[in-house]
Each structure stands twice: as structure tokens, then as C-alpha cells.
Amino acid sequence: MVRSKNFFMKFYLALIIAFLYIPIAVLVVLSFNDSRSRVVWGGFTLEWYKTLFHNSDVVAALQNTLTIGFGSALIATVIGVLAAVGIDAMKKRSYSLTLGVGNIPMLNADIVTGIALMLWFSRFTNLGYVSILLAHVTFNIPYVILSVLPKLQQMDMSVYEAARDLGASSVKAFTRVILPNIFPAVVSGFFMAVTMSMDDFVVTYFTKGAGINTLSTMIYGELKRGIKPEMYALSTLIFAVVLIVLLLVNYMPRIRQKQIQRKLQNRKAAS
């Protein structure tokens, strides 16, 4: 009875994971398909992986996607961390007002955010790389704050005050006392921001203007004419890289711990 219940729970978990990963499996299979058609299997090939980086449009779109992703996440992290520290010190009323207005880009419909920014930017300047970047920073900041603020609230701020009383400048007190405490939350906020930026289509679509593409808008444009098979290869590569990085980040600390233990044992044995 207990065993069958356990089996059922694991089965359900596996089903959900399968649901999330089946489309990705489809794309991986297509990336090795020796046919330009999406529905015909023409045999195994590595062709698309070879031609991938010779296609200057694809490379440009990839560059835009990556630099906007990491750039907007970096700017959002700096602004967001400072904001979280500031908001944490606010009185209740300005606290909820600032946070409430700040969360608008996250809670508002993407299509409204995109259109509003497009109308606003096109008043002053041509749409392009910079307008996409600014738009991405805007919707990324709330994710950073959301990640950092709870950590700050758990932290005992009297430590910071003590550092200040003992003569540390506010910058030093921030970098030496606050930052180490909230660092994991800062990192996860940063990666959340990169992910949201890479995943975005709607806001980019409205704020990009003509003549520039990220991977999302490029693929959307190709949908009706037929997607270049290189795209499947590229997305498989990105997926593989992220998977490896995540596994390393997760298992590295454990491996390092084992190495340190072994070193200590060796030292003990030597003495």
C-alpha cells in the first residue's frame, strides 16, 4: 500500500517533468535532422552545428540576446540591490508605495509594458538596441529586489550600525557587512534576471524597432517562412551549456568539500 503510493507519487513527478521537457526533446531531435522540413526525418547530421556560426544574422541575434541578457541583468542587479537596501530602511508608507509601484512591470501584462515603453521611447529617439536594453532592465529590477529584500529583512541591521559606529565608512560597511550576508540572494537575483531577459519575446518585439533582432524576434519572423534548422542547433547548444553550468555550480561545492577533507586527512597522516 505504502509502496504503491510512493510509486504513484514518483510517477506523477516524472509526468510533470516529461511535460516540461518533451518540447525541448523535439528541438534536440530536429537539430540533428538532415532535412529542412520540420516533419520529415531525413537522417542524422551535424550539418547545422557546422553552419551555425557562419550565418552572420544568427550570430548577430545571438550576440544581441546575450549582451542584452547579461547587460540588463547587471544594471538591474546594481540598481536593485541598492534599492533593496534603501527600501529596507524606509518607513512603512513609503516602503509599500515604492515597492508597489516598482512591482508594476512584473505584475502588469507584458504587452502593456511593451507598448507603453515603445510609445515613450519613440517620442525621443529611434528604437533599437538601447531601447531593448532599457526595457529589459525595467522588467528585471523587480526580480532582483524580490530575491534580495527578504534576505535583508532576515539580516540583523544592528551589525551594520555597529560597523558604522566603529568608524567604517558607509561604503565599507556596505561591502564588508551587508554584501557578504546577502550575496547568494544577489547571485540568484542576477541569474533570474538573465533568464527572464533571455526568455522574453513580447517586450522585445515592441521595443526593438526595425533592423535589429534577438533570437526570439528573429525566430518569430521566420515562423511563417520556415525556421532555419541552425536555430534548433543553437537552442540545443544553449540548453547544453546552461545544463552543464548548473550541474557544475551545484556539485562543485560538494566536490571541493571532499577535496579539502582529503587534504586534511593526508596532512594528518603525514604528521
Contact set for another protein, span 102-141 (CB under 8 A): 102-113, 115-120, 123, 134-135, 137-138, 141
Nearer to another protein, 7 or 53 (CB): 7
Query: Is 155 near another protein (CB under 8 A)?
Result: no
44 forms beta bridges with 33
What is the crossing angle of helices 56-88 and 215-222, to 10°? 130
Q: Give the max Cα distance, the chain.
A: 74
Strand, coil or helix: 243: helix
Q: Which is nearer to another protein, 112 or 264 (CB)?
A: 112
Of 47 and 104, the one with the shorter C-beta distance to another protein is 104
| Exposure b/e, 107-116, CB count within 10 A at least 16 = b | eeebeebbeb
Q: Which residues pair with 33 in a beta bridge?
A: 44
Q: Which of residues 222-261 bind another protein (CB under 8 A)?
A: 223, 227, 231-232, 235, 238-239, 242-243, 246, 250
**Contact by Cβ (8 Å): 151, 185:** yes
- Residue 199 or 266 with smaller CB distance to another protein: 199
Residues in the chain, how many? 271
- Chosen residue from 7, 10, 67, 244 binding another protein by CB under 8 A: 10
Closest CB to another protein among residues 18, 264: 18
Return the number of the residue (40 or 270) whose C-beta is nearest another protein: 40
Q: Is 18 in the site for another protein (CB under 8 A)?
A: no
Using the rule CB under 8 A, is 154 a contact of another protein?
no
Query: Residue type at 241?
Result: V
C-alpha distance from residue 111 to each of 11, 121, 137, 181, 261 (Å): 37, 15, 16, 37, 53
Q: What amino acid occupies position 237?
A: L
Site string for another protein, 25-64 (x = CB under 8 A): -xx----------xx-------------------------
By CB under 8 A, what part of segment 166-225 binds another protein? 170, 192, 195-196, 198-202, 205-206, 215-216, 219-220, 223
Within the chain, how many helices (H) and strands (E) appear?
Answer: 13, 0
146 binds another protein, rule: CB under 8 A: yes
